[in-house]
Amino acid sequence: MESNDITAQTSIEELLEQYPKANEFFLEKGFRCLRCGEPFWGSIEKFLKSSRFTGDINALLDELRAYVVE
């Protein structure tokens, strides 16, 4: 998966397999996508909704894409 392929529908599990650094990104934003060593089951969009994220998901995805390729 290329970083440009990261969308709101990308599963957290797939994202972390390809880009383990994404966990650091979410932690810095105040979200825990790993619990007891297991990733959240579902898409990035579902994860953010369950985490009560109310910001602009597209802007966050742009930040995430830039972060994982640094």
Alpha helices (H) in the chain, listed in sequence order: 12-18, 22-28, 44-50, 57-68
Mean pLDDT of 33-61: 89
pLDDT exceeds cutoff 80 at 37 = no
Q: Domains in the chain: how many in total?
A: 1
- Residue 13, domain member (yes or no): no
- Residue 8, domain member (yes or no): no
Mean pLDDT of 53-61: 95
- Residue 1, domain member (yes or no): no
- What pLDDT, on the 0 to 100 scale, is given for residue 56? 96
- Of 32 and 58, the structure prediction assigns the larger pLDDT to 58
Prediction pTM value: 0.87
Burial of 69 (0-12, 13-18, 19+ CB in 10 A): exposed
- What pLDDT, on the 0 to 100 scale, is given for residue 40? 81
- Rounded to an integer, what distance in angstroms lies between the CA atom of residue 34 and that of residue 55? 21
- Residue 6, domain member (yes or no): no
- Residue 57, domain member (yes or no): yes
- Residue 35, domain member (yes or no): yes
- Residue 12, domain member (yes or no): no
Token digits of residue 36? 């007891």
- Residue 40, domain member (yes or no): yes
